Structures are given as structure tokens and as C-alpha cells.
């Protein structure tokens, strides 16, 4: 990154092929693959950006939440580079990264903002009053939205990764033909496990192997219930605390229906920013952006420790279960 807004290179190695035959992410394989791929990816990132290690002012690495094996590999590489190159290292919160992805898409976007972060493990409504400060105002009681999509996709026989496959199938379906309940808890809490059970029972009632059209209709109905439930709470939060900027981010923000409906719900009340598709799902640029905005004198977060090589680092303790803190 050049500053916090301009991406010079954003190299992604997808592990989809590695995990596909198991129908989901295998943590041990994921961590080992990180270890094997990272050195080459780093070379590629520097080459594509056209920079030398000496040009680097700050390194950023995810410290959590996430799979502990992958976090440890990333942190090991981060600390190693920071020591070898004598550069400061910033340990970044993964969820913050998703919000900062929106800043890459919209250069004049600044807090205060209302954020909805929807990923494989989180469905959180957050209020962001300033850089590096987040207050969770709503979360899920059970499954995250991405997890719900992945489980529904598996029930519909769509394999891994489920979310994008369900999104594609839903485009051929009609949600009204297989209507499913829309979860609705009081306040700003989400819940998707009941909807998942409703889909399971509907599939059981349909018996044997449902037809292609039935599957597409069910995918559309499931998607509609998840999306409308997410947006009901966003709508409620925006009504009770009006704010000029709204961000919807995280892997599920790549969903076609969510993108269309979020624009309709927010229209005329605030400006909506959703990261471009490749910045919704996990990527390195969002972590670099979050590191830039939260580790520079703009708003120093955490303590600055010296490293043996003369570098420094901020909050670099691995925490797989980290919340928004
Ligand atoms: O943020 P992310 O890339 O990784 C985590 O931090 O979890 O989010 C991944 C999640 C997965 O559950 C995936 O199925 C979901 O985002 N996802 C989608 C779509 N693209 C990715 N869900 C629905 N529609 C999509 N187009
Ligand atoms: Zn993520």
C-alpha cells in the first residue's frame, strides 16, 4: 500500500482447491499451506508493487480472530521480516480489516460510520466513531451469516465453498415458491440456526432428490431470509442513530442480493460503501490499510515494543478468539 488508500499489489492465493475434497476448511492443511506459500507470495507482492524492502515503512499482520495455526504462521513471518528489515510491525484485528477494505474502495470515506461485517464467523453491527475505535451494537446469537450460507449450500448439495455457489443458484430461483421464515429477534441480535433447521425440514418434506428448480427456489428463499434479516437490523440501527456513512463488508458482502438490497435500504438516508468484490473476501490489502490507520500517529493503538533488529511492533500477540478489541 502507498499510504492507507492506494493498493500497489494485492496478491491472493486461494486454498479452495486444497480444501474442496473435504467439503470445508481443514485447519491443519490451511496452516501448512500458509507456511509453504507465504515466502513466494511476499516476493510476488514486492515485485508487483515495484518496491524494495528498504522502501517499506510499516508491516501489518493479522493477529486474530482466525484459525490459530494460520495466525501463528503469519505472525512468525511478520516478526521475522520486521526483525530482518528493522521495520515496525502492526498486529491487526481481522474484523477491523474488513471495515478498512471500504476505505480502499472510497478514498474520502472517514468515520464516524455504521458498519455491518458479515463473514464466515461473524455477523456484527458496529459503530465506528473514529479510526481504531469500534463498538459492537449487534451480533449473532448462533451461526454467522456466511456459516449459514455454507451450511445451506451443503444441504442443497452445492459443495465448498458454499456461499458463492448458493448465490449463483439463487439467481435462477424464485423465493416466493419456497418461502422460508425470516429470523427476527428483538433488538439488534441476529439468529440463523432456526432458518437452517427450516431448510432441513423443507428438504425432508420434499423427499428423495429435489429437482433443480426446487433447489434454486430454496436457495433464493434462504438467501432472501438471511439478507432481509441482516438489513432489518441495519435499518433499525440507522433509524435509532442516524449517521452519514454506512459500510457493509466481509465475505458475505460479495452476495449479489445483499449488494442490491443494501443500496435500496440505505438510499436517501446515508452514503453506503461496499468494498469491490475482491476486497470483500479476505485479502492482504485490507490488513495493510487497517495497520496504516491504526498504527501511525493518526491514532496509535497498543504499546510500541522494540524488536532486536531495531524495529518496533504494536499489539502483536496472537489471539484466535479476538473480538473487536
Ligand atoms: O470474510 P471471509 O472471506 O472469511 C472470513 O473471515 O470468514 O468470508 C467468507 C464467507 C464464507 O462463509 C463464504 O461462503 C461467504 O463469505 N461468501 C458469500 C459469498 N461470497 C463469499 N456468501 C454469500 N454470497 C456470496 N457471493
Ligand atoms: Zn474475513
Tell me the per-residue pLDDT of 207-219, one tens digit each, with 9 for 90 and over: 878 999 999 999 9
Closest ligand to C-alpha of residue 286 is 2
Q: Is 290 in the pocket of ligand 1 (CB under 6 A)?
A: no
pTM: 0.95
pLDDT of 111 reads 98
For ligand 1, atom 20, which residue shows the shortest CA distance?
164
Which residues, chain by chain, have CB under 5 Å from ion ligand 2?
119, 282
Q: Is 186 exposed, middle or buried (0-12, 13-18, 19+ CB in 10 A)?
A: exposed
Give residue-wise pLDDT tens across range 164-181.
Answer: 999 999 999 999 999 999
Q: For a ligand 1 pocket test, name from 227, 281, 286, 287 the mutation site with the most ligand atoms within 8 angstroms of its C-beta.
A: 281
User: Residue 191 in contact with residue 140, Cβ under 8 Å?
Assistant: yes
Q: Is residue 261 a contact partner of residue 228, using CB atoms and an 8 Å limit?
A: yes
Whole-angstrom CA distances from 270 to 114, 256, 262 are 10, 20, 11
CB atoms within 10 A of CB 201: 10
| pLDDT tens digit sequence for 85-134 | 999 999 999 999 999 999 999 999 999 999 999 999 999 999 999 999 99
Nearest ligand 1 atom, CA 250: 1
Determine the pLDDT at residue 315.
81
Three-class secondary structure of residue 204 per DSSP: helix
CB of 150 sitting under 6 A from ligand 1: yes
Q: CB 51: neighbour CB atoms within 10 A?
A: 14
For residue 290, give the 3-state DSSP assignment. helix
Ligand 1 near 24 CB (within 6 A): no
Cβ of 111 less than 6 Å from ligand 1: no
Amino acid at each position: 500500500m502507498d499510504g492507507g488508500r492506494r493498493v500497489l499489489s494485492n496478491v491472493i492465493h486461494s486454498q479452495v482447491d486444497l480444501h474442496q475434497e473435504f467439503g470445508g476448511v481443514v485447519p491443519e492443511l490451511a496452516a501448512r499451506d500458509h507456511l509453504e506459500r507465504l515466502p513466494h507470495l511476499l516476493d510476488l507482492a514486492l515485485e508487483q508493487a515495484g518496491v524494495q524492502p528498504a522502501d517499506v515503512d510499516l508491516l501489518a499482520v493479522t493477529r486474530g480472530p482466525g484459525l490459530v495455526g494460520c495466525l501463528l504462521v503469519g505472525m512468525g513471518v511478520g516478526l521475522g521480516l520486521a526483525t530482518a528489515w528493522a521495520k515496525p510491525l502492526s498486529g491487526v484485528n481481522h474484523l477491523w480489516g474488513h471495515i478498512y477494505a471500504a476505505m480502499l474502495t472510497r478514498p474520502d470515506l472517514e468515520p464516524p460510520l455504521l458498519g455491518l461485517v458479515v463473514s464466515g464467523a461473524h455477523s456484527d453491527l458496529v459503530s465506528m466513531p473514529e479510526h481504531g475505535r469500534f463498538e459492537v451494537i449487534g451480533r449473532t446469537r448462533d451461526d454467522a451469516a456466511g456459516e449459514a450460507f455454507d451450511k445451506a449450500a451443503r444441504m442443497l448439495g452445492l459443495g465448498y465453498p458454499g456461499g458463492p455457489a448458493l448465490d449463483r443458484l439463487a439467481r435462477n430461483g424464485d423465493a416466493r415458491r419456497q418461502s422460508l421464515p425470516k429470523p427476527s429477534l428483538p433488538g439488534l441480535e441476529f439468529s440463523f440456526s432456526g432458518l437452517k433447521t427450516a431448510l432441513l425440514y423443507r428438504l425432508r418434506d420434499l423427499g428423495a432428490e429435489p429437482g433443480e428448480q426446487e433447489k434454486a427456489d430454496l436457495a433464493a428463499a434462504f438467501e432472501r431470509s438471511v439478507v432481509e434479516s441482516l438489513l432489518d437490523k441495519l435499518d433499525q440501527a440507522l433509524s435509532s442513530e442516524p449517521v452519514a456513512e454506512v459500510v457493509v463488508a466481509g465475505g458475505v458482502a460479495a452476495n449479489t442480493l445483499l449488494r442490491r438490497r443494501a443500496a435500496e435500504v440505505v438510499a436517501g438516508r446515508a452514503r453506503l460503501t461496499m468494498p469491490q468484490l475482491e476486497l470483500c473476501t479476505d485479502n492482504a490489502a485490507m490488513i495493510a490499510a487497517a495497520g496504516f490507520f491504526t498504527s501511525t500517529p493518526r491514532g496509535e493503538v497498543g504499546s510500541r515494543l522494540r524488536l532486536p533488529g531495531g524495529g518496533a511492533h504494536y499489539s502483536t500477540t496472537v489471539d484466535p478468539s479476538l473480538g473487536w478489541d
